[in-house]
Structures are given as C-alpha cells and as structure tokens.
Amino acid sequence: SQELEQSPQSLIVQEGKNLTINCTSSKTLYGLYWYKQKYGEGLIFLMMLQKGGEEKSHEKITAKLDEKKQQSSLHITASQPSHAGIYLCGADPDQAGTALIFGKGTTLSVSS
C-alpha cells in the first residue's frame, strides 16, 4: 500500500523566514494534495499537483512535484503568524478516485 512520509514532523520558524516541508511517497504519485489545518478544525485545500515537474503558487506558498512524481515540497516565503498550523499532504493511492490517503502532518509554529 502507498504511504506518505512528511518531514519535518514539526517546525518553529521566526516570522519573516522561509521554510520548506517535504512529502515523500513510497509509490508514484498520480495526484498530490496539500491541505492546511488549524488545530481542532477541518482541512483547508491549498493546492493540487498532478504532472511531474509541476509547480503552483498561491500568495506566499509554492508547491512542487518532482519529475519522478514521488516527492513534493511546500515552500513558504516570508512566513507570517497566519501560516501557523498543520500541513498535510494527501494522495490518491489507486487512481480510482476512491479516497485520499494522508501523511502524518507537519506542525508549523511561527514566532513573532
């Protein structure tokens, strides 16, 4: 079965600094999703990547999928306290569009 491993597990950065979160899959990715979660709340969709080498940006967040489609990174530029939360990557394991599997998440704290 496919597994997603996220690193780091947690991260504390000073406001204004850049950071990167990684998501590595045990199998080829056919769709990679990034979500953000505030503690005790639901998940908010950030971005979805499908093609090898694809890169998408929204405000100060950029996500990339490598050419081999087994690793994705989420990069935040000039972090702000509003970026704090849990970031989860998700994937469709069998291309059947049944249900997403998720990594264990990366908890981001931003100190001002």
Q: Are 98 and 85 in contact (CB under 8 A)?
A: no
Interface map 60-89 toward other proteins (x if CB under 8 A): ----------------------------x-
Q: If binding is defined by CB under 8 A, does position 23 make contact with other proteins?
A: no
Q: If binding is defined by CB under 8 A, does position 95 make contact with other proteins?
A: yes
Binding piece for other proteins, criterion CB under 8 A, among 14-22, 66-74, 77-85, 103-111 = 103-111
CA atoms within 13 A on the CB side of 88: 19
Residue closer to other proteins by CB (options 44, 78) is 44
**Closest approach of other proteins to the CB of residue 50, in Å:** 7
Which of helix, strand or coil describes residue 15?
coil
Nearest residue to 15 (alpha-carbon basis) of 96, 76, 97: 76
- Determine the distance from the C-alpha atom of residue 11 to the mean position of all C-alpha atoms in its chain, rounded to a whole number: 13
DSSP symbol at 68: T
In the complex, the residues that contact other proteins under the rule CB under 8 A are 9, 30-31, 33, 35, 40-45, 48, 50, 88, 90, 92, 95, 97-105
